[in-house]
Amino acid sequence: MQAFKYLWLCLLCAAALHASAQSSPRERINFDANWKFHFGHAANPEKDFNYSLATIFSKSGGAAQTAIDPRFKDSTWRSLNLPHDWAVELPFAYKDNFDVMAHGYKPVGGHFPETSIGWYRKHFRVSPADSSQRFQIQFDGVFRNAQVWINGFYLGTNASGYIGMAYDITDFINYNRDNVIVVRVDATQYEGWFYEGAGIYRHVWLNKYQNTHIATDGIFAYTNFQGTTTTVQIESTLANENTQTSICTLKTYLQDRAGKLVGVPKEQTITLGANTEQTLKHSIPVSKPHLWSLEDPYLHRLVVEVRSNGKLLDKQSIRYGIRKIEIKPDGVFLNGEAIKLYGVNCHQDHAGVGSALPDHLQYYRIALLKNMGTNAYRSSHNAPTPELLDACDSLGMLVMDEQRLLNSGPEYMGQFERLVKRDRNHASVFMWSIGNEEGWIHTTSHGKRIAQTYIAKLKQLDPTRTCTYAADLANVYKGINEVIPVRSFNYRQYAVADYHAEHPNQPIIGTEMGSTVSTRGQYSKDSIRAYLPDQDIHAPWWASRAEEWWMLAAESDFWLGGFIWTGFDYRGEPTPYQWPNISSHFGVMDMCGFPKNLYYYYQSWWTDKDVLHISPHWNWRDKRGQPIDVWVNSNADDVELFLNGKSLGKQEMKRHGHLQWTVNYEPGKLEAIAYKKGKKLTAKVETTGTPTEVVLTPYKTTMLADGQDVSVINVTVVDREGREVPDADNLIRFAIEGEGKIIGVGNGDPSSHEPDQCVDGAWQRRLFNGKAQFIVQGSVKPDIIKIEATASGLWKGSTDIITVTPREVASVTIDKTYELKGEAAKSRPVGQMLGADISFLPELEARGIKFSEKGTPVDAIESLKQHGFNYVRLRIFNNPARDSGYSPQKGFCDLAHTKAMAKRVKAAGMKLLLDFHYSDYWADPGKQYKPAAWRGLGFTELKKAMYDYTRQVIQELKDQGTTPDMVQIGNEINHGIIWPEGKVSNLDQLAQLLNAGTAAVKAVDPNIVMMLHVALGGQNHESVFFIDNMLARGVHFDVIGESYYPKWHGTLEDLEHNLNDLVRRYQRDVIVVEYSQLKREVNKIAFELPNGKGKGTCIWEPLNTWEQVFDREGKSNELLPVYDEIAKAYLNSNK
């Protein structure tokens, strides 16, 4: 059994953008691949390719005998793809220097001239057919002080390490000959006091367009709300770089997600003078728009077209969310509803990759934050990467977009203007921050005047948003605070109330709050290894613990909310320790995104989820009889703690607080039972055994074969009972085969000096308190990537990742032949299920196994019924008797065996779920092989064969009086069925096959309930992607079935989040149709979904596999009576 997951959220957006680009003369070409890299030298010109010796700027296009020269031979340079952070690749280097310490002890900066200059070169060709086009090279972010040349011609220097730059290169292009882009990156000077990376760490693009075109960042859209009237206002700036006047027509229109026009398109004719720009204003009234919100981040598409004499000259589209933001002294209001800002500060930094985060990693991190309850993100302390804002737009996260430095000189005002123009169309951006802790000026007249200049500039560029300034000041109304619209506090939480009393009309936000320092999984202070307890105990002198600030902010309306420092640990700024500490302790998650205990404090009070979390772990073998401080974070009304069944007392939960017990340690089970508004919650930690197996949990197992997509794979070890060992420190080695590569490893240890980038190819990482992580990236070639993780003395862990070719999704194709009509198309009610897949039973009985309870012989099916089961699932294979098939020569799970089993199930008064595999043997996400009899069929014939076979099976079952109550067309089909035709890479064909099977079932009996079954129990984004695409292609189903195995599908929290979201999105019933472990917990989640949509579970092969309820000899065990409890609690209830 194999489970697969994937963050597919970007695929449709990327495909739509691709489609738009292909229908427009404008092209935006990703330029990340195939660069050359070499270190220069900040102190030795000869080692810097003669940069400081040659007459580089004396003659245009010159620079002989330097790396700038197009003829320079770079064949010995390292080949790589962007984004690239060279700092993360370097070993740690101790130096007793504040700046070196603050940047994570990486040898980058003025003290390290040999590793602080980096040269990049890229060769490319341009067709003569494009000689009438204009070309622009665009860099999203380079750290820092980047000088750029093309074909020896100097283009410019960008001092900023955070806001990008773009240069027109039209005049310098060679057609049908080699072109060379050269970038010299100088990271000898820092900008911040935290890890910043080094190199071209964001994307590079080659933009191609006509002489008459939309200017760079030339579209600005915003929404006006006047009573019941909603109007989208658009300002479009057009540029004419021809030498003559251009008469053109501008057309602007708004589309919903399905491509349907929203409002009436607007057209305007304009005469553009030669080499001029002009801005036109349009407005599109929208009736009852679908608004963007945190819970439903709905994005429209705004399209601007430029035509001349009917010819399309340019076309750009932007994702646009219609929403209303109001900032008032008593709250932030989104679409008229008050929200408290549950915010985090974050630097762009992640384990393994440093500052060069792949796009999909941004979505991974934002999803983790949202699960904690976060609704706002501050881009501390610099312009964010555009893909971060895309993730926040898509997932529903507000963003405070921050300028790097408060300075009104031309350099920094230019940076600010580029930032605002670039980001002002993002729905997620709700406020600008003009700076952070400018201690030299923020109470001076200089600071006040500079702030006024920024505020005036912002009114020109974006009159729709307000701004703030993050001040580490108490009750001080001087300088910047006199003029800034929104007052922000960094720390100083006890001064907020006094400041508000004196300035009641000025909104107040806590921009940096709650800087608890802690180390994940550590429970004592260790000054040698530089660790701190993983509880809300310690904070620096200038800051506060979580409970201190949040208790003040939570109940006061004049606190609009706050941003904790920080969401994740980050490299650099180790506090309170220094070496060997190389990263911060501030995060509520470590650098990998593994939650610390503080995560659950905020989740308790920032969400309406049922939270009950116990810490620490319960592996204290050398502390028997010694007192252990136990913390419980919860939003329950009260909590009672038990050790090995003995009550340790009940405590009432104080709002915005936590609970503590002192417990004398003894091995076993520490359990909490809580009640929240009458609802029972449970949680436990147990003493585990020693590790026996490595477990890999990939965040997604389907990736785009685009050379960019990545999957985060988390690593743990478990004991013989499948329990995660929380204090393990095994060394794990990783191996990968196929079209993929590992791009980084980590474990969240703030004092680990292991390499994040194993440049020698021997990828490995030691577990830190039971966890590690690595990141896999695919190539541009579709493949199945096989991954293994090994540790000395343990069973290996493995997983597969399938990569699929990105496809343009402009429309969908539905085969009307198998379209449901009339009664067959109606939804059917789904009853409760407490089921068991016992397809192995005939084979077990054929082997002579006899079942018994307490020595009394029993029929297995009757026994299950007596213990509350009401459903049996049977899988069916097409021709399992083939020699190479399942159970060779025996044919178990064929139609004959299935019919016999169906009679026994119905005779026992139980319901039947039939699971078609459409294979001669097992089908799951890793193998969906076509039956031998269907090989060589054309696609139309294949659909008919599937229809005929399905109808035959259902008809024969009906004829013998055993019509299935529920049917699933395919087993764990998130990677498709009947490969290769039905692979997930071809969504249209996959849907047509599902429709053919469904039509066959309904032709026999329209009342049969249909299930859509995917193996994505904890993988919400991939579940949503798959279901959305099947619904768009007309696939009929009544109930969503999910497989859940912790080994592959994540935590119970992941499962609960996914199922709740599916219910909210689709208002359909949900069943966990495969599971084995955590019986009580899985059933509790599955049955207690909102609005009665949780219909239950079906355990996989409980007679002899995994956590079976009968042992291998057929004797019942202690797990069988668990189902008496479950049936009593949930069946025939109103839950």
- Residue 1046 is predicted with a pLDDT of 86
- Residue 642 is predicted with a pLDDT of 98
Task: HSE, CB side, 13 Å, CA atoms: give it for residue 473.
Answer: 24
Reported as a single tens digit per residue, the pLDDT across 512-559 is: 999 999 999 999 999 999 999 999 999 999 999 999 999 999 999 999
Query: DSSP character for 850?
Result: -
Q: Helical H runs in 377-441?
A: 386-395, 410-423
For residue 138, being part of any structural domain is answered with yes
For residue 10, being part of any structural domain is answered with no
Query: Is-contact 699 712, C-beta < 8 A?
Result: yes
Instruction: Mark which of 590, 612, 634 sits at the end of a domain.
Output: 612
State how far the Cα of 331 lies from the Cα of 533, in Å rounded to an integer: 35
Name the nearest CA neighbour of 245 among 225, 269, 261, 222: 269
Whether residues 453 and 581 share a domain: the answer is yes
Whether residues 973 and 1066 share a domain: the answer is yes
Reported as a single tens digit per residue, the pLDDT across 206-246 is: 999 999 999 999 999 999 999 888 999 999 999 999 999 99
Global pTM reads: 0.92
DSSP 931-956: PGGGTT--HHHHHHHHHHHHHHHHHH
Q: Would the pLDDT of 405 be above 70?
A: yes
Least confident of 8-12, 313-317, 595-599, 1002-1006: 8-12
- Residue 889 is predicted with a pLDDT of 52
Whether residues 541 and 644 share a domain: the answer is no
Note down the domain range covering 673: 620-686
Q: Helical H runs in 762-894?
A: 841-846, 860-866
The length of the chain in residues reads 1135
Predicted confidence band of residue 585 (pLDDT cuts 50, 70, 90): very high
Whether residues 77 and 182 share a domain: the answer is yes
- The mean pLDDT of 947-955, rounded to a whole number, is 98
191 is catalytic: no
b or e along 55-80 (b: 16 or more beta carbons within 10 Å of the residue's beta carbon)? ebeeeeebbeebbbbbebebeebeeb
- The mean pLDDT of 768-784, rounded to a whole number, is 96
State how far the Cα of 921 lies from the Cα of 1133, in Å rounded to an integer: 38
Between β-strands 341-346 and 833-837, what pairing exists: parallel, antiparallel or unpaired? unpaired
Residue with the two structure tokens 């994505």? 1016
Q: If you average pLDDT over every residue of the chain, what do you get?
A: 93
Reported as a single tens digit per residue, the pLDDT across 275-328 is: 999 999 999 999 999 999 999 999 999 999 999 999 999 999 999 999 999 999
For residue 187, being part of any structural domain is answered with yes
State how far the Cα of 742 lies from the Cα of 973, in Å rounded to an integer: 27
- Residue 748 is predicted with a pLDDT of 98
For residue 7, being part of any structural domain is answered with no
Q: Would the pLDDT of 662 be above 90?
A: yes
Least confident of 159-163, 441-445, 798-802, 970-974: 798-802
Whether residues 894 and 1042 share a domain: the answer is yes
- The mean pLDDT of 195-200, rounded to a whole number, is 97
1088 is catalytic: no
SS3 state of residue 120:
strand
Sign of the alpha-carbon dihedral angle for 482, 487, 488, 494: positive
Whether residues 216 and 198 share a domain: the answer is no
- Tell me, what CATH number does 1098's domain have? 3.20.20.80
Reported as a single tens digit per residue, the pLDDT across 781-833 is: 998 899 999 999 999 999 989 888 887 665 677 788 899 999 999 999 999 99
Whether residues 638 and 715 share a domain: the answer is no
Catalytic residue among 114, 417, 437, 548: 437
Reported as a single tens digit per residue, the pLDDT across 5-53 is: 333 434 433 333 333 334 568 999 999 999 999 999 999 999 999 998 8
- The set of residues, in sequence order, having a beta carbon less than 8 Å from that of 196 and lying 6+ positions away, is 87, 103, 143, 144, 161, 187, 190, 355
State how far the Cα of 826 lies from the Cα of 830, in Å rounded to an integer: 13
Instruction: Mark which of 320, 345, 361 sits at the end of a domain.
Output: 320
For residue 21, being part of any structural domain is answered with no
Neighbours of 912 (CB within 10 A): 21
Least confident of 48-62, 72-86, 989-1003: 48-62
DSSP-based helix, strand, coil % in the chain, nearest 5: 20, 35, 45
How many distinct structural domains can be found in the chain? 6
Q: What angle do CA 1047, 1050, 1052 make, to 5 degrees?
A: 110
State how far the Cα of 401 lies from the Cα of 435, in Å rounded to an integer: 10
Whether residues 865 and 993 share a domain: the answer is yes
Predicted confidence band of residue 1135 (pLDDT cuts 50, 70, 90): very low
- The mean pLDDT of 173-184, rounded to a whole number, is 97
- Residue 11 is predicted with a pLDDT of 40
Whether residues 108 and 175 share a domain: the answer is yes
- Residue 810 is predicted with a pLDDT of 57
Query: Is-contact 969 998, C-beta < 8 A?
Result: yes
- The mean pLDDT of 398-417, rounded to a whole number, is 96
State how far the Cα of 373 lies from the Cα of 747, in Å rounded to an integer: 24
Q: Would the pLDDT of 189 be above 90?
A: yes
Whether residues 289 and 392 share a domain: the answer is no
Reported as a single tens digit per residue, the pLDDT across 1067-1122 is: 999 999 999 999 999 999 999 999 999 999 999 999 988 889 999 899 999 999 99
Counting residues of the chain whose pLDDT is more than 70, the rounded percentage is 96
b or e along 26-48 (b: 16 or more beta carbons within 10 Å of the residue's beta carbon)? bebeebbeebbbebbbbeeeeeb
Query: Is-contact 66 59, C-beta < 8 A?
Result: no
Distances (CA, A) of 262 to 252, 258, 636: 11, 11, 45
Instruction: Mark which of 296, 320, 344 sits at the end of a domain.
Output: 320
State how far the Cα of 764 lies from the Cα of 741, in Å rounded to an integer: 13
- Residue 63 is predicted with a pLDDT of 85
- The mean pLDDT of 441-467, rounded to a whole number, is 97
Give the rounded distance of the alpha carbon of 825 from its chain centre.
35
SS3 state of residue 1065:
helix
In sequence order, the β-bridge partners of residue 1009 are: 966
- The mean pLDDT of 143-171, rounded to a whole number, is 97
Kindly provide the residue ranges of all beta strands, DSSP E only, lying in 340-464, ordered along the sequence: 341-346, 376-379, 398-402, 429-436
Catalytic residue among 512, 671, 686, 972: 512
- Residue 811 is predicted with a pLDDT of 64
Q: Would the pLDDT of 700 be above 80?
A: yes
- Tell me, what CATH number does 671's domain have? 2.60.40.10
For residue 926, being part of any structural domain is answered with yes
341: left (phi over 0), alpha (psi -120 to 50) or beta: beta
Structural tokens at position 948: 């005929």
